[in-house]
Amino acid sequence: MQVSLEWLNEYVDIKDLSPEEIAHGLTMSGLECEGIDRIGAKFTNIKVVEIQKIDNHPNADKLHLVTVFDGTSQKIVVCGAQNIEVGQKVPYASVGSTVLDRKTGESFQLTPAVIRGVESQGMLCSDDELGVADLKLQEEDGILILNRIFDNVTVGADVKDVLNLPEDTVLHVAPTANRGDEMSVVGIAREVATIFSRELKFSPMSCTNEIKAPNFEVKIDENVCKYYSVAVLKDLKVAPSPAWMQRRLLASGVRAISNIVDVTNYVMLEYGQPLHSFDLDKLNGYLEVRTAKEGETITTLDGEERQLNNNSVLIATKEGGVALAGVMGGENSEIDDNTKNIALEAAFFPAASTRRCAKSVGLRTEANARFERGVDMEMVKPALIRAIQLLVELCGAKFEGIAQAGNNALPEQLITLRYAQIKRYLGIDIPEETCISILSSLGFKLCGKNQLAARFSVPGFRAVDVTREIDLIEEIARIHGYDKIEPTLPDKTVAAEVKKEDLTVKKLCNLLLGKGFYEAMTSSLIGKPLYDWAGIKYDEAKNVEVCYSQSEDFCMLRQSVIPSLLNIIKYNFDNGSKNLRFFENAKTYTIEEPATEKTTGVKEKRILCGLITGNANTSNWQETEDVDFYTLKGVIENIFEELKLTQRVIYSPCEDVNYLHPKRSAYAAVLGKNKAPVAKFGQLHPVIKDRMKFNQDVFFFEIDLDALLENVNYNAVLVKELPVYPEVTRDIAFIVKNDVSYQDLAKSIKKFVSPNLFNGADIFDVYQGEHVEEGHKSVAFHIYLQDKSATLTDQIIDTEINKIKDGLKKFYSSVTFRE
């Protein structure tokens, strides 16, 4: 909303306050001021000159060299306008004057200019270069010919004085959703008066002897309209409204149209009560407020035909709708140049039904913005009377009477303010007198008080947002000033609880960061196109889909992180980055149970996921190698080791995940209560890789964080004593069939050695090729043995190694040892 300080000054004396002071005061107490505009001359140092001579420009057909006289000297300026003649008095800007850019409207200082080889000593100005195009001073384009518009224009005079531009300042304010009262000049004046401890010079108009309108009947549906009144006015003369009214409307951002329309807008801006005028002769003496029927239509003032439904509320004659209640008038009852008689509407439409009505047709207007925040029931009648008065004055209207329906009396609302509660909520004492004076200034009427409390009656214009004691306390706090409340800290010291699980997740993220993974954040809101592009299927029955979205790319919550990860790769590959490591602490979303009033039934699963591709190290001057399955597996193993789960992890082939290479991917499960895999990882399926036109292999991992964390033992690690006796290492190498897995061999070796001597086994060679039979592989292990209580003898060592050899031979039919 825009408010003119000139207008505001009519209701509260603010001449001694700067616009900045007022803006700051309003902003701090809850009416945010988003900008200050100064209205009036935006130009400086423009003089009236007389054109004495017009010559052609030597180098340009369309330009002239104009000799002008400013009262003391002659100047020659280059001018391209076609409407100039000798003898005209026109605005002249010399070098250093401020004028406006014709295209952008921004003001700038005129600098010396040479135009097509001729120096111009300033310029002659058009209306838009002076910022006065809105005043429509002349019809034609070109230089503003002052002597045609104004009498007695003197050469050398300041154009500012000639144009007599009103000086005003406009504040752009943004009332909060609960403050309908601040959508009016009077309401803002009341705030200003209270903030700066001044008197509000306003008393609502009243009418002592109300005349009932002859031959006019109104009817309402109380669900959609509490009170409806229409003033019947006849013999109006449609004309432009007076300049002072036009100026105020313009300053408020409303275009002047004609006296009748302008008066309704003017009163709405002033009192906050939207009004509407119908052409009386198009109504047949009857108006009713009712809910629209499904399928009914109305053509609104903006020329749009609107399809209505049972949320729409109509003002209707017996023939049909003539206006959308509280939103916009209809074309069929519009005021036009032939209008003589009008019906002027002032009504109270409840916030909820107006909002539904506006929504039903997708319209937002000044009127419904006010009804939605709540208008003052007690101000409906005074606003109507104010408008009648203006119409009689400005349009020569004959007032015939008022037709009304419903009740415009507001039940008295009383609130008790206990002084002790002020300190309890705000933490400071505010003297009783201050509280009472603030509330009184805001329009709350003191109805009684004792030592502990005071009782106030709520004015109609605050009936919506002030209903409780706490609301009064807020009023006191905001006017007294938040800055006067000395900060304190809650008087108890408490330690923050830090959950072990949160720490663990953070540890895993840090581990991945240390392994070179960048943290990603992808959109959890995705669309079918991304799934289709990635070739990933989702479960329709479990899908969390939104009802409406601006784009099909954002219409469901993801069930899989893979499309998002593929998107990261594509994005970065396209931008020339080839060596990528990313992880995300992401979520997937699926419907698992039916929703209830308080539960959604949607499961949000935490997935620690990521990808790796490109060179293992990216130094250009050293040898590099590409990452592979085992690079990724190393990371996965680190994660399990970080959680002390290494000994309990089992890897198994993962052949049923459609985006992974079936022979180069794995599940990892943790031995325990739940044997389901907690992670899957491996190489991107070559079919997807080819479809994406990726030139290098990519490796993914997905870890079900919730399942993984279930297995974590948060007990502190208890340290084992360090060994005193040395560990010995023996190597064994043997050939087995290709399909025997490392995991099985390692398990077997462990099984055959005496547990008290076994200190682990490491594979250090896997070989296939020359000297090894086809379908077989040679593997070599370091075997570590240690006795906690003695140095091992060769004899014992040989026995243990032989136990392994015998065991392996028995276990795997084709095993042969290599020395």
Site for another protein in 179-218 (CB under 8 A): 179
DSSP 82: S
Largest CA distance in the chain: 129
- For residue 684, the minimal CB distance to another protein (Å) is 17
- For residue 499, the minimal CB distance to another protein (Å) is 7
Q: Which residues neighbour 116 within 8 Å (Cβ) at sequence distance 6 or greater?
A: 57, 59, 60, 63, 78
- For residue 567, the minimal CB distance to another protein (Å) is 8
Angle between helices 185-195 and 259-271 (to 10 degrees): 30
The residue count for binding another protein (CB under 8 A) is 103
Q: Which stretch binds another protein (CB under 8 A): 174-182, 337-345, 711-719, 750-758?
A: 174-182
Q: What is the CA radius of gyration of the chain?
A: 42
Distance, CA of 381 to CA of 403 (rounded, Å): 12
Q: Which is nearer to another protein, 61 or 497 (CB)?
A: 497
Report the residue from 7, 348, 461, 517 that binds another protein according to the rule CB under 8 A: 517
Q: What is the footprint of another protein within residues 367-406 (CB under 8 A)?
A: 372
Distance, CA of 403 to CA of 772 (rounded, Å): 108
> Read out DSSP for 439-488?
HHHTTPEEEEE-SSEEEEEPPGGGTTT--SHHHHHHHHHHHH-GGGS---
Q: What is the footprint of another protein within residues 332-351 (CB under 8 A)?
A: 351
Report the residue from 56, 109, 154, 176 that binds another protein according to the rule CB under 8 A: 176
Q: What is the footprint of another protein within residues 518-537 (CB under 8 A)?
A: 518-525
Q: What is the footprint of another protein within residues 457-496 (CB under 8 A)?
A: 468, 470-471, 473-474, 477-478, 482-483, 485-496
434 binds another protein (CB under 8 A): no
Nearest Cα residue to 231 out of 269, 280, 193: 280
Binding mask 695-734 for another protein (x = CB under 8 A): ----------------------------------------
Tokens of 618: 């990216």
541 binds another protein (CB under 8 A): no
List the Cα angle 482/181/366 in 5-degree steps. 125
Report the residue from 57, 282, 356, 370 that binds another protein according to the rule CB under 8 A: 356
Instruction: Compute the Cα dihedral for 585, 586, 592, 597 and give only its sign.
Output: positive
Q: Which stretch binds another protein (CB under 8 A): 3-11, 131-139, 265-273, 505-513?
A: 505-513
580 binds another protein (CB under 8 A): yes
544 binds another protein (CB under 8 A): yes
- For residue 429, the minimal CB distance to another protein (Å) is 11
Report the residue from 2, 44, 309, 600 that binds another protein according to the rule CB under 8 A: 600
Binding mask 764-793 for another protein (x = CB under 8 A): ------------------------------
589 binds another protein (CB under 8 A): yes
Q: Which stretch binds another protein (CB under 8 A): 406-414, 550-558, 689-697, 760-768?
A: 550-558
Nearest Cα residue to 401 out of 238, 231, 275, 571: 231
Nearest Cα residue to 135 out of 106, 166, 102: 166
Tokens of 615: 């060179």
Q: Which is nearer to another protein, 113 or 426 (CB)?
A: 426
Q: Which residues neighbour 747 within 8 Å (Cβ) at sequence distance 6 or greater?
A: none
107 binds another protein (CB under 8 A): no
Residue 358: strand, helix, or coil:
helix
Report the residue from 399, 425, 767, 811 that binds another protein according to the rule CB under 8 A: 425
Q: Which is nearer to another protein, 571 or 764 (CB)?
A: 571
- For residue 85, the minimal CB distance to another protein (Å) is 43
Q: Which stretch binds another protein (CB under 8 A): 58-66, 129-137, 203-211, 545-553?
A: 545-553
Residue type, 502: D
- For residue 269, the minimal CB distance to another protein (Å) is 22
Tokens of 603: 């499961």
111 binds another protein (CB under 8 A): no
547 binds another protein (CB under 8 A): yes
**Phi, psi for 93 (deg, rounded to 5):** -110, 125
CA 342 to chain centre: 43
- 119, exposed or middle or buried, with CB in 10 Å at 0-12, 13-18, 19+? exposed
621 binds another protein (CB under 8 A): yes
Q: What is the footprint of another protein within residues 21-60 (CB under 8 A)?
A: 27-30, 32, 34-35
Nearest Cα residue to 194 out of 376, 437, 429, 431: 437
CA 484 to chain centre: 31
